[in-house]
Chains A and B, each alone.
Chain A
Amino acid sequence: MKYLRSWLLPAIALLVAFAVGALMMKIQGANPFIAYKSLFTSAFGSSAGIAKTLGKATPLIISGLAVTICLRAGLFNIGVQGQLLAGALASAWAGYAIKGLPTIIHLPLALLFGVFFGALTGIIAGALKAFRGVHEVITTIMLNSIVLQLGEYLAYGPFKEPGQQLARTPEVLNSAKIPQIFGMPLGFFLGVALAVIAWWVFKTTTSGFRMETVGRNKSAAWYAGISVKRSILISMFVGGALAGLGGAIETLGVVGRYEPAFNGGIGFDGITIALLGRANPLAVIPGSILFGGMRGAGASMQFTAGVSPDIIDLILAIVLFLVTAPLIGKMIKSIRDTEQITTGGWGN
């Protein structure tokens, strides 16, 4: 029964959000049925569509995990966007600037660059939280903007492709590109594997238990001899590293370079996905596939029904609202007592 409940709430939330989205389209004078039909057929109706959906889902899984892991430890990491950009930027540089390496070394190295700089961005917020008590929500949001500006500076300046009008880095060398298997990006399987590992860590290991204890009750954790500071640092480090990996996979597998238009929205979708999955690492996978499909196929609604793809943003915001606010639980008694997600709060 409990298992059913945990699926029912997000499902109802999605249905209601789609209904509200349909209403919005109706107000704008568009036909929501045509719009939704084209959305789902182009996302899931063909093998090419599915491959595209899974490709879009890949960075979402990883950024969703980055948020999930921090949530488990009581931290609300809304800086995934910045960590992702840092990873994208660093891996792009490593991908084009380091020359003469075989793929077997170059690709892992470029990925590692992304992981490292993502983790670095995360741990700045983690250290400020652990040692100065500065709330991570503010620092991570500020870091998002800082990294975005830094990326823009580098793409216009030192990292700029020679002889190119556009602000972008040179293309990543072939030796650093992520190969595809059967037209599917390899990164997707890595993302799924990471989700399973994260689930396993929280389910069975001591370090996972420690992090979760800090997340649930800091003073209890402290009395039990668990270092709260260490847990904060580790979770922000891991969260940042994952986000950086997501950025690196997107850069080396899809975009092929860094450009200021790099899709930072992935980080924000990661927040919604993590909350939709109620901070369960495995739930991130279906959530990401759904979101990936909607993001990848959003433009198709423009062609068929004249609906702006911005409707996706609105639908996802409503999903988030319904999943986190106990609104549905108030109406339908039987699913009321699903556990609420909490962050560490404002103080310490």
Chain B
Amino acid sequence: MRSRWLMFAITFIAILYFYMRDSLVTTSVIGTAITFGLPLAMAAMVGIMCERTGIVNIGIEGTLLVSSFVGFFTASASGNLILGLISAVAMGAISGLLLSLLAVTWKMDQIIAGTIINILATGLTSFFYKQGHTIPSTFPEVDIPGLSSIPFFGPVLFMHGPLTYAGIILIFVLWVALYKTPWGLRSRAVGEHPSSADTAGVSVIKLRYLNVAIAGAFGGLAGAYLTLELVGSWDRGFSAGKGFTALALMIFGRWNPIGALGAAIFFGTAQAVTNQLMITQVVTIPQQFTNMLPYVLTILILAISAGKVRAPAAEGQPYEKEQA
């Protein structure tokens, strides 16, 4: 993909140029880009794990919403961030299991199944939402000794909260798992040609259940990151379309964890740069247009990449075992 390399080259040169001009601001902008991009990348992993095994997950938005909700209110009630994190991850896994139940066992239309998860999440969270709750603090920033003093890369990569590190590491773990382990090979086989995988002794149903549940847990981690590390509060409609943007990034990254991570950081950079331009008043754009940016970018990214990329072949089809 030439356009992809071109994009990365332009980004790289731009960063270098701005770093030469003003190292401090550039470092902070790229650091912000990672904070903006990471939750999207984590949410995109949910999509990748599901779709690689042949399940379309359009309910990522709902998973983010409901898991961040549960995480925040557990942390708020117990005063314990770890407990909030655990409950968010558990809630994410439950939403994954619900999707499996609908799409794998009941063989429902997967787009509608995902939409149900989104609408259920909105209904549940807005009904149980109570105003005025707070958490004692967010997850604190942990500077990695030694590494954080490297110029540029230190502040950009090694001065974040624990869930940021966890998210980045897990993305690489997922990449290795997907391409270098038997589990990954089986998962991809189930997503491409389930009947062959079945013939080879892989349990299609079991593997789909497992992967969608793990993916849901990953979405729970993303939800926990958003509320317990990044924002520190929760409001109605908290996930603000991130689950859908994540799907676009997944497609743009060609269902590859590293590709989606790159796309998410590019996305985060665009937002961080716009924010910086607004703060320094280099340009004055009405607030609403900067709010619109992620949505417009999502559509543009899809319009550019769709059609050129190929989705896993068995995606969206329920698996029917052939009768002997």
CB distance from A208 to the nearest CB of B (A): 22
Q: Is the CB of A314 within 8 A of B116?
A: no
Q: Write the chain B residue with the least CB distance to A322.
A: B116
Q: Write the chain A residue with the least CB distance to B299.
A: A142
Q: Is the CB of A133 within 8 A of B127?
A: no
Q: Is the CB of B303 within 8 A of A318?
A: no
Residues of chain A within 8 A (CB-CB) of B148 are none
Residues of chain B within 8 A (CB-CB) of A310 are 126-127, 129
Q: Is the CB of A146 within 8 A of B244?
A: no
Out of A142, A153, A156, A268, name the residue touching B295 (CB < 8 Å): A142
Q: Is the CB of B116 within 8 A of A133?
A: no
| Residue B207 is within 8 A (CB to CB) of chain A in the complex | no
| Residue B23 is within 8 A (CB to CB) of chain A in the complex | no
CB distance from B272 to the nearest CB of A (A): 19
Q: Is the CB of A137 within 8 A of B124?
A: no
| Residue B112 is within 8 A (CB to CB) of chain A in the complex | yes
User: Which secondary structure dominates chain B's binding surface?
Assistant: helix
Encoded as 1 (CB less than 8 Å from any A CB) or 0, chain B from 55 to 86 comes to 01010000000000000000000000000000
Find residues 245-264 in chain B having any chain A CB closer than 8 Å to their own CB: 245, 247-248
| Residue A198 is within 8 A (CB to CB) of chain B in the complex | no
| Residue A341 is within 8 A (CB to CB) of chain B in the complex | yes
Distance of A97 Cα from B245 Cα, bound (Å): 36
Given that A314-B124, A346-B110 are contacting pairs, would A132 and B302 also be in contact in the complex, using a CB cutoff of 8 Å?
yes
CB distance from A41 to the nearest CB of B (A): 23
Distance of A157 Cα from B289 Cα, bound (Å): 12
Residues of chain A within 8 A (CB-CB) of B292 are 145-146, 149-150
Distance of A345 Cα from B113 Cα, bound (Å): 11
Distance of A272 Cα from B116 Cα, bound (Å): 9
Find residues 212-254 in chain B having any chain A CB closer than 8 Å to their own CB: 240-241, 244-245, 247-248
Distance of A105 Cα from B214 Cα, bound (Å): 59
Q: Is the CB of A321 within 8 A of B120?
A: yes
Encoded as 1 (CB less than 8 Å from any A CB) or 0, chain B from 122 to 141 comes to 11101101000000000000
Q: Write the chain B residue with the least CB distance to A128.
A: B303
Q: Is the CB of B286 within 8 A of A157?
A: yes
Q: Is the CB of B127 within 8 A of A138?
A: no
Q: Is the CB of A132 within 8 A of B316?
A: no
| Residue A317 is within 8 A (CB to CB) of chain B in the complex | yes
Residues of chain B within 8 A (CB-CB) of A76 are 111-112, 115
User: Which secondary structure dominates chain A's binding surface?
Assistant: helix
Find residues 120-141 in chain A having any chain B CB closer than 8 Å to their own CB: 128, 132-135, 137-139, 141
| Residue B278 is within 8 A (CB to CB) of chain A in the complex | no
Q: Is the CB of B244 within 8 A of A317?
A: no
| Residue A313 is within 8 A (CB to CB) of chain B in the complex | yes
Residues of chain B within 8 A (CB-CB) of A142 are 241, 244-245, 295-296, 298-299
Given that A141-B244, A317-B123 are contacting pairs, would A150 and B116 also be in contact in the complex, using a CB cutoff of 8 Å?
no
Q: Write the chain A residue with the least CB distance to B286.
A: A153
Which of B36-44, B101-109, B164-172 binds A?
B101-109
CB distance from A121 to the nearest CB of B (A): 12
Encoded as 1 (CB less than 8 Å from any B CB) or 0, chain A from 24 to 43 comes to 10000000000000000000
| Residue A46 is within 8 A (CB to CB) of chain B in the complex | no
| Residue A107 is within 8 A (CB to CB) of chain B in the complex | no
Q: Is the CB of B241 within 8 A of A320?
A: no
Given that A138-B248, A139-B299 are contacting pairs, would A268 and B108 also be in contact in the complex, using a CB cutoff of 8 Å?
no
Find residues 137-196 in chain A having any chain B CB closer than 8 Å to their own CB: 137-139, 141-143, 145-146, 149-150, 152-153, 156-157
Residues of chain A within 8 A (CB-CB) of B106 are 325-327, 330
Find residues 291-348 in chain A having any chain B CB closer than 8 Å to their own CB: 308, 310-311, 313-318, 320-321, 324-327, 330, 340-343, 345-347
Q: How many residues of A contact B (CB 8 A)?
A: 49
Distance of A281 Cα from B113 Cα, bound (Å): 22
Q: Is the CB of A343 within 8 A of B111?
A: yes
Given that A132-B303, A138-B244, A313-B126 are contacting pairs, would A346 and B311 also be in contact in the complex, using a CB cutoff of 8 Å?
yes
Distance of A143 Cα from B299 Cα, bound (Å): 8
Q: Write the chain A residue with the least CB distance to B292.
A: A149
Q: Is the CB of B115 within 8 A of A340?
A: no
Residues of chain A within 8 A (CB-CB) of B123 are 313-318
Distance of A334 Cα from B127 Cα, bound (Å): 34
| Residue B307 is within 8 A (CB to CB) of chain A in the complex | yes
Residues of chain B within 8 A (CB-CB) of A65 are none
Distance of A325 Cα from B126 Cα, bound (Å): 22
Q: Is the CB of A325 within 8 A of B116?
A: yes
Out of A153, A317, A318, A347, name the residue touching B315 (CB < 8 Å): A347
| Residue A271 is within 8 A (CB to CB) of chain B in the complex | yes
Out of A152, A327, A345, name the residue touching B316 (CB < 8 Å): A345
Distance of A132 Cα from B116 Cα, bound (Å): 26
Residues of chain B within 8 A (CB-CB) of A343 are 109, 111-112
Distance of A132 Cα from B299 Cα, bound (Å): 11
Residues of chain A within 8 A (CB-CB) of B286 are 153, 156-157
Q: Write the chain A residue with the least CB distance to B247.
A: A138
Distance of A315 Cα from B124 Cα, bound (Å): 9
Q: Write the chain B residue with the least CB distance to A317.
A: B123
Find residues 124-183 in chain B having any chain A CB closer than 8 Å to their own CB: 124, 126-127, 129
Find residues 279-299 in chain B having any chain A CB closer than 8 Å to their own CB: 286, 288-289, 291-292, 295-296, 298-299
Out of B111, B311, B316, name the residue touching A137 (CB < 8 Å): B111
CB distance from A287 to the nearest CB of B (A): 15
Distance of A78 Cα from B62 Cα, bound (Å): 15
CB distance from B72 to the nearest CB of A (A): 17
Q: Can you list 9 A-B pairs with a CB-CB distance of less than 8 A?
A: A142-B241, A149-B292, A156-B288, A268-B119, A311-B127, A317-B122, A320-B116, A341-B112, A346-B311
Closest 3 CB pairs of A and B: A317-B123, A153-B288, A142-B295
Besides A135-B302, A138-B302, 14 new A-B residue pairs in contact (Cβ under 8 A), listed by A number: A128-B302, A138-B247, A142-B241, A142-B296, A150-B288, A271-B115, A317-B122, A320-B119, A325-B116, A326-B108, A342-B112, A343-B111, A345-B316, A346-B56
